[in-house]
Amino acid sequence: MSKLTSLMTLCACAALACGAAAAQPKPVTVEKKETLSATVASIDHDKRLVELQKGDERTTIQVSPEVRNFDKIKVGDEVVATYYQGLAAEFKKKGESQTVGVIDATTGTARMPEGSSRPGAAVANHVTTTVVIEGVDTKTHSVTFVGPSGLTRTVDVVDPKAREFISTLKKGDEVQLTYVEALAVTLEPKKP
C-alpha cells in the first residue's frame, strides 16, 4: 500500500471517528405503571384517613381534599390506585434548550363530579428542565449533572435504554428532561 493510500485511509478513519463522536444520542423514554387494589379496613372521616388492607399488609393514607364524595367511602369498599411515572431525556446542542436553569412545571387535577356515587380523583405533574452533564460512570451506570438550582446530583440509572443513552454523554453536554407523574384513585364496587 502506498504512503498516499495509507494517508487517505487514515484520514477517512479519522473522519469516521469524528463523525461518530459528534453523533447525538437518540432521545430515550422510560415508563412505569403500577395498579394496586386494596380493601378499605377503617376510615377516619374527620382526618380524611383511610386504612387499606391487601392480604396481611395494612397501609394508612391521607385522602386529599381533591377527592370528592369522600363521605361515600365505606369499610369493605375496594379502592384501585394507578400510578404512572415517565421520564424522557433528549440531548440538546449547547444553547439550544430553553429550559437551562429553569423548571417548567404544570399540575393538573381531575375529580369526580359533585354528587357522584363514587369517590375518585387523578393528579398529574409534568416537569421539564435541562441539566448539564458533569460526568458519566459506565461501570456503576451513574450520571452526575448540575440541575437548574445549581446543585450537583448523581443518580443511578437502572433501565437498559437509559444506560445506553448516558453512555454516549460527556462533560458539558446538555440534556432536556421531561418527567411525568400521575396518580389516579377510584372507588370500585365490592365484588361478591
Query: What are the pLDDT digits (tens) for 103-142?
Result: 888 888 777 677 666 667 777 889 999 999 999 999 999 9
Whether 46 maps to a domain, the answer reads no
Whether 151 maps to a domain, the answer reads yes
| Counted domains in the chain | 1
Predicted confidence (pLDDT) at residue 20 exceeds the cutoff of 70: no
Please state, as a whole number, how many other Cβ atoms lie within 10 Å of the Cβ of residue 105.
11
Whether 174 maps to a domain, the answer reads yes
Residue ranges making up the domain that contains 104: 26-35+83-188
Predicted confidence (pLDDT) at residue 15 exceeds the cutoff of 50: no
Name the average pLDDT for the chain. 79
Whether 52 maps to a domain, the answer reads no
Whether 18 maps to a domain, the answer reads no
Whether 112 maps to a domain, the answer reads yes
Of 12-16, 24-28, 66-70, 154-158, give the lowest mean pLDDT range. 12-16
Least Cα distance to 180 among 110, 112, 105, 130 occurs for 105
Does the pTM exceed 0.75? no
Are 89 and 176 a contacting pair, CB within 8 Å?
yes
For the record, the C-alpha cell of 117 comes out as 356515587
Whether 60 maps to a domain, the answer reads no
Whether 51 maps to a domain, the answer reads no
